[in-house]
Amino acid sequence: MPTIELQNVTKTFGKHVAVEGLSLTVPQGSVYGFIGPNGSGKTTTLRMIMNILYPDSGEITIFGEPLRPASCDRIGYMPEERGLYKRMKVREVLEFFGGLKNGDGIGAKVDRWLERLDLADWANKKVETLSKGMSQKVQFIATVVSQPELVLLDEPFTGLDPVNTDVIKDAILELQAQGTTVIFSTHDMSMAEKMCDYIFMIFKGVKVLDGTLAEIQDKYGTDTVRVKTGDGMSALQNLEGIERVNDFGQVQELRLAPEGNSQKILQEILKRTYVRSFEIVKPSLHDIFVRIAGPQAKEVERA
């Protein structure tokens, strides 16, 4: 039984269509990544799943039942904009938020999570004394402390340093290992590639990608060459058969034109400089995202 099923869900604000005809199935125990440019409809979709916003049409099924207010007690939700009572102590605020959903043994659960995320020493400090990273970890605990079966995280890694990013990432994977379904939205494509079982992309309110990373990449074929040369980007100017060059500094990604031939391109580069590595790969999620939502994107194509 899927944890979430959205069927042809539409939500408008005035004349603006925020989400249009969205259908989505989230399997139980999966990590599902929501990607899309700002304002594309990710947060609106999450809010509809949380029953904070009501869809104009379509149906949302959670845990095999039509969405109803009581369903939210089984869902943990961390909005994009973090919000904690600044004048409350860390332990108090966690017990309060956790207790609103499931107050059973909340004190022990709070202690365990504070220990787990290295915040035990801050339990009796006021929230206003915490750094941004610590506040974000407290917000994460407030979301998961009631042991929800489904966790919705709206951009959980934004503003975190690499150490804290790893802490949150490990915690998410630990939740998944315990059977929790996790949905998170992110602008970090590499994190989505590495962590998500499934990736969903929404653009201008319309679903444009949905599936595993491999399925998504297969759709775009092997039209990408990742190359490292002695002269970097300067050796790749005006190559024939190339549609676009994405320069990462140490490495460049070349997207082949439909008529492009990778062997000819390799020969041309070798004429110009020496090649350290030359690899024919599937396009990265970052590249796919840019192809869909970048300035040169064509019309929105439904997935």
Partner 1 sequence: MRKILRFALREYKAAVKTKGFIIGLLLAPLVMGGGLIAFLLLKDRVDTTDKRVAVVDRSGLVTRALVSAAEFRNANEILDKESGKKIRPAHFFEEVKPSTNDPKGQRLELSDRVRSGELHGFIEIGPQVVHPGKDPEAFQISYYAKNAAMDDLRGWAAWAINNRLRQVRLADAGVKESDVKDLFFWVSVDGLGLVSLDESTGAIAEGKRASPLEAILIPIVIMMLMLLMIMMSVPGMLHSVMEEKTQRIAEVLLGSIKPFEFMAAKLVGGIAVSLTSSAVYFVGGIIALQVMGYEDYVPLHVLPWFFAYMLLAIIMFGAWSAALGSTCNEAKDAQSLSFPTILPALFPMFIYFPVVKEPLGSFATWMSLVPPFTPLLMVLRLCTPGGVPAWQPFAGLLGVLLFTLFFVWAAGRIFRVAILMQGTPPKLANIVRWAIRG
Residue 63 found at the interface with partner 1 (CB under 8 A): no
101 binds partner 1 (CB under 8 A): yes
Cα 190 to Cα 35, 139, 216, 289: the distances in Å are: 11, 23, 14, 12
> Nearest-CA neighbor of 45 among 4, 73, 15, 84?
4
Which CB, 97 or 157, lies closer to partner 1? Answer: 97
- Provide the edge-to-edge strand list for the sheet that holds 198-203: 75-78, 150-154, 181-185, 31-35, 198-203, 206-211
Give the shortest CB-171-to-partner 1 separation in angstroms. Answer: 18
**Cβ nearer to partner 1, comparing 160 with 209:** 160
Write out the binding residues for partner 1, residues 129-158 only, by CB under 8 A. 139, 142
Q: Is 39 in the site for partner 1 (CB under 8 A)?
A: no
Stretch that binds partner 1, among 33-41, 80-88, 215-223, 258-266 (CB under 8 A): 80-88
The angle at the Cα of 142, spanning 108 to 117, to the nearest 5 degrees, equals 70
Q: Whole-number minimum distance, CB 170 to partner 1, in Å? A: 23
> Closer to partner 1 at the Cβ: 50 or 192?
50
- Residue 159 is a binding residue for partner 1 (CB under 8 A): no
Q: In whole angstroms, what is the distance from residue 300 CA to residue 236 CA?
A: 30
Query: Taking a C-beta distance cutoff of 8 angstroms, is the pair 235, 273 a contact?
Result: yes
83 binds partner 1 (CB under 8 A): yes
Q: How far is the CB of 113 from partner 1 (least distance, A)?
A: 16
38 in contact with partner 1 (CB under 8 A): no
Single-letter residue type at 140: F
The residue among 104 and 240 lying less far from partner 1, judged by its C-beta, is 104
| Cβ atoms of residues 83 and 135 within 8 Å | no
Burial annotation 209-225 (CB, 10 A radius, 16+ → b, else e): bbeebeebbeebeebbb
How many chain residues interact with partner 1 (CB under 8 A)?
28
Say whether residue 19 binds partner 1 (CB under 8 A): no
* Least distance CB 191 / partner 1 (angstroms): 23
Q: Which two tokens stand for residue 81?
A: 């904009």
**Helix pair 285-293, 213-220: axis angle to 10 deg:** 60
User: What are the DSSP calls for 29-64, one per residue?
Assistant: T-EEEEE--TTSSHHHHHHHHTTSS--SEEEEEETT
Q: Which is nearer to partner 1, 99 or 211 (CB)?
A: 99
Tell me whether residue 49 or residue 290 sits nearer to partner 1 (CB atom).
49
Please name which of 139, 152, 156, 151 lies closest in space to residue 94, comparing C-alpha atoms.
139
Specify the stretch interacting with partner 1 by CB under 8 A; choose among 70-78, 174-182, 201-209, 231-239: 70-78
- Contact partners, residue 174, CB within 8 Å, separation at least 6: none
Stretch that binds partner 1, among 15-23, 97-105, 165-173, 200-208 (CB under 8 A): 97-105
Only one of the segments 50-58, 166-174, 187-195, 226-234 lies at the binding site for partner 1 (rule: CB under 8 A); that segment is 50-58
Q: Site residues (CB under 8 A) for partner 1? A: 47, 50, 52-53, 69, 72-73, 75-79, 81-88, 96-97, 99-101, 103, 139, 142
